[in-house]
Structure 1
Amino acid sequence: MSTRRDFLKLSLGAAAAALPALRVSGALAAPAPRVLRIGNQKGALSLLKGRGSLEKRLAPLGVGVTWTEFNAGPVQLEALNVGSIDFGDVGDAPPIFAQAAGAPLAYVAATLPRPQSEAVIVPRNSALRDVADLKGKRVAFNKGSNVHFFLVQLLRKHGLDYGDIHPVFLAPADARAAFENGSIDAWVIWDPFFAAAQATLGARVLADASGVDGNRGFYFSSQNYVRQNPDVIRIVIDEIVKTDAWGKAHRADYAAELAKLWGLPAPIVQRAVDRNEFGTVTVTKPILGEQQKIADTFLELGLVPKRVDVLQAAAPGLA
């Protein structure tokens, strides 16, 4: 009997899913159209937006796509938390703060490590020559962004504590202005802002993340969106994988296309692309373990109010 009941449940479920419309007060009401609201930074998603290839893939499913650009991950994840976006790209640290704030985060894919794409930079004529020289100095970075954890780990590697510096929390545009006018001593930043500072301000690299932080990027959604739209998520990731593969084989063309989309000089974008590691991978338990290390470090420093269990952000059916 249980087998027959299970079969009936499956049959009824399939029939309900196949219904093209709902009957409301004796009339047929069209099903609500599906939409994918993407929040993107300056990265691979910019190419998908510029090309319109994702819209073409999703059109047969009746899924519309909207785009909103953000300058950093924390505000992007705030948008997820309040239900303004469904998908986005982010660095390794922002998801920890988002989870701590109760965001319904789901990791759906990860990039390969990209340690050379973030760095601590100083003005060309700065007296600072080593990471240890940062003690007592004003160091600017975007609070809760990917460079936050990198800075903590870098300081520890060189015998300093997070409390040994004077953090100055600034978004990239404000940090650049502070860097130019000399109101900060160092800036911790990622590409393409990093490459732009090197090219236009003559910024000098004090240290990048090599041997300190993997600097993975992540693609995220919400738990509910993944449960309700696994087909959409799979298509988005497939398009990202294709873009990565093309970019790895055609770095100059990739950089030129991004330069047009970002409105930045081609040499700046080329510099960022040259040190980028292309590749999108499935989020595994070891990768989530890397994230757990970040979460535990932030708890230890009092940067998050409670322990974050990263495994709870594994995407349902995709992890």
Structure 2
Amino acid sequence: MKHVVSLILLGALVALLAATGLARAEDISLRVGDQKAGLKALLEVSGLAKDLPYKVQWSEFPAAAPILEALNTGALDVGYTGDLAFLTVYSAGAPIRAIGGTRSAARSQAILVPKDSPARTIADLKGKRLAGNKGGWGQFLILAVLEQAGIPADQVKWSYLGPIDARAALLSGAVDGWAIWEPYVSTAIMQDGARVIADGTGLTPTITFLVANQQAIASRRAALADFRRRLYAAWAWGLEHIPEYAAYNAGLTGLSAPIVARAYEDDHRTPLAIDDAVIAEVQQAADRSTRYGILLRRVDVAAAIDRSFDTPALSQ
């Protein structure tokens, strides 16, 4: 009987330790969706991947869309994705929430033209063909810049292309402008001589969210909080060690270290405290995206974000 009671007490202790985040690493694991030279590389080069009190199962994806789909189905616990892509999937009913993120400089999203283009302002691109990703910040940036300039969207021609195809189209002359983000901006400028004709300043929040499946939030909260803390420290480290960070990721991406360093300087990715002002800013951009037809329905941004991870008990 004493043996049975001991087993019951031991089981209760293990459950308690797991709930408080103190269980052994082999008892807890996080399934993390990543991209090349992404979160894993950042944690490794910053030294913050050491002594994890849980296991991390990394899965590398080519883009944000499959990360979000895996989060939606529960195949991943947490991943990192742009704000508009996250809101698109969340608005479709996916059981996901943003638990943190970063802000990049708005200039890191830009509309580029070829080096020999006669265009000097966005008005010079009326009647021309512009490339950008459909349903994402490429399409949003083009529409927002046109609106700011008082140019109807139907006065340009559209080519919905991903980054690789869009760059080739710009080089060949198949398109006259390209809406894109870092590190593609720096690559096109430094390798192709492309010029920035407009950027996202005053138009885009330029926020990337750390997104978790709701089941993981419920069952792996302590591990998620620790993982988030390490990422915030790593992002802060990256800002202070751009040459070292760029050299490390240059080997992973195949880009030159100077291009990666320029991209990181331009991007200026900063850990984000999600407060009321941030939510209001993203809500404004989301409402504009709904008006543009990028989001199919209005999204309540506050409901899409779990702000409990910004409480002192979890964020320190």
Determine if the alignment matches structure 1 residue 65 to structure 2 residue 57. yes
The secondary structure found in structure 2 opposite 1:93 is helix
Determine if the alignment matches structure 1 residue 202 to structure 2 residue 197. no
CA, structure 1 residues 40+66, in 2 after alignment: closer, same or farther (shift >3 Å)?
Answer: closer
Which residue type is aligned with residue 304 of structure 1?
L
* Displacement after TM superposition at 1:196 (Å): 0.9
* Displacement after TM superposition at 1:267 (Å): 1.1
Q: Residues 148-159 of structure 1 correspond to what in structure 2 (within 5 A)?
A: 148-159=139-150
Determine if the alignment matches structure 1 residue 131 to structure 2 residue 144. no
CA, structure 1 residues 216+94, in 2 after alignment: closer, same or farther (shift >3 Å)?
Answer: same
Residue in structure 2 matched with residue 17 of structure 1 by the alignment: 15
The secondary structure found in structure 2 opposite 1:176 is helix
Residue in structure 1 matched with residue 216 of structure 2 by the alignment: 225
Whether contact under 8 Å (2:102, 2:270) holds in the other structure is yes
* Displacement after TM superposition at 1:189 (Å): 0.7
Residue in structure 2 matched with residue 38 of structure 1 by the alignment: 32
Q: Which moved more, 1:143-152 or 1:288-297?
A: 143-152
Write the distance in 2 (CA, Å) between the matches of 1:51 and 1:250. 10
Write the distance in 2 (CA, Å) between the matches of 1:52 and 1:116. 25
Write the distance in 2 (CA, Å) between the matches of 1:79 and 1:165. 35
The secondary structure found in structure 2 opposite 1:66 is strand
Write the distance in 1 (CA, Å) between the matches of 2:70 and 2:167. 24
CA deviation vs aligned residue, 1:236-273 (integer Å, no higher than 9, x gap) = 22221222222222221121112122221111111112
Which one of the candidate residues 285, 288, 292 is aligned to 2:279?
Answer: 288
CA deviation vs aligned residue, 1:94-119 (integer Å, no higher than 9, x gap) = 12211222222211112134112111
Determine if the alignment matches structure 1 residue 310 to structure 2 residue 301. yes
CA, structure 1 residues 275+51, in 2 after alignment: closer, same or farther (shift >3 Å)?
Answer: closer
* Displacement after TM superposition at 1:171 (Å): 1.4
Write the distance in 2 (CA, Å) between the matches of 1:156 and 1:103. 31
Whether contact under 8 Å (2:99, 2:306) holds in the other structure is yes
* Displacement after TM superposition at 1:19 (Å): 8.5
Unmatched runs of 5 consecutive residues or more in structure 2: 1-8, 19-25, 311-316
The secondary structure found in structure 2 opposite 1:77 is helix
* Displacement after TM superposition at 1:42 (Å): 5.2
Q: Residues 150-299 of structure 1 correspond to what in structure 2 (within 5 A)?
A: 150-299=141-290
CA, structure 1 residues 127+186, in 2 after alignment: closer, same or farther (shift >3 Å)?
Answer: same
CA, structure 1 residues 231+19, in 2 after alignment: closer, same or farther (shift >3 Å)?
Answer: closer
Write the distance in 2 (CA, Å) between the matches of 1:161 and 1:48. 41
Between the two proteins, the alignment pairs up a number of residues equal to 295
Whether contact under 8 Å (1:90, 1:219) holds in the other structure is yes
Which residue type is aligned with residue 272 of structure 1?
A
Residue in structure 2 matched with residue 24 of structure 1 by the alignment: none
The secondary structure found in structure 2 opposite 1:282 is coil
Write the distance in 2 (CA, Å) between the matches of 1:174 and 1:50. 31
Write the distance in 1 (CA, Å) between the matches of 2:274 and 2:36. 22
CA deviation vs aligned residue, 1:71-114 (integer Å, no higher than 9, x gap) = 3x334323322333222222232122112222222111121341
The secondary structure found in structure 2 opposite 1:187 is strand
CA, structure 1 residues 137+38, in 2 after alignment: closer, same or farther (shift >3 Å)?
Answer: farther
Alpha-carbon RMSD? 2.7
Unmatched runs of 5 consecutive residues or more in structure 1: 1-10, 21-31
Write the distance in 2 (CA, Å) between the matches of 1:284 and 1:197. 35
* Displacement after TM superposition at 1:178 (Å): 1.6
CA, structure 1 residues 162+229, in 2 after alignment: closer, same or farther (shift >3 Å)?
Answer: farther
Write the distance in 2 (CA, Å) between the matches of 1:186 and 1:273. 23
Whether contact under 8 Å (2:43, 2:231) holds in the other structure is no
Write the distance in 1 (CA, Å) between the matches of 2:56 and 2:240. 30
* Displacement after TM superposition at 1:159 (Å): 0.8
Q: Taking structure 1 as the reference length, what is the TM-score of the superposition?
A: 0.82
Write the distance in 2 (CA, Å) between the matches of 1:92 and 1:151. 17
* Displacement after TM superposition at 1:203 (Å): 0.9
Which one of the candidate residues 115, 126, 131 is aligned to 1:140?
Answer: 131
Query: Identity of counterpart residues, as a percentage?
Result: 34
Write the distance in 1 (CA, Å) between the matches of 2:153 and 2:241. 40
Whether contact under 8 Å (2:109, 2:199) holds in the other structure is yes
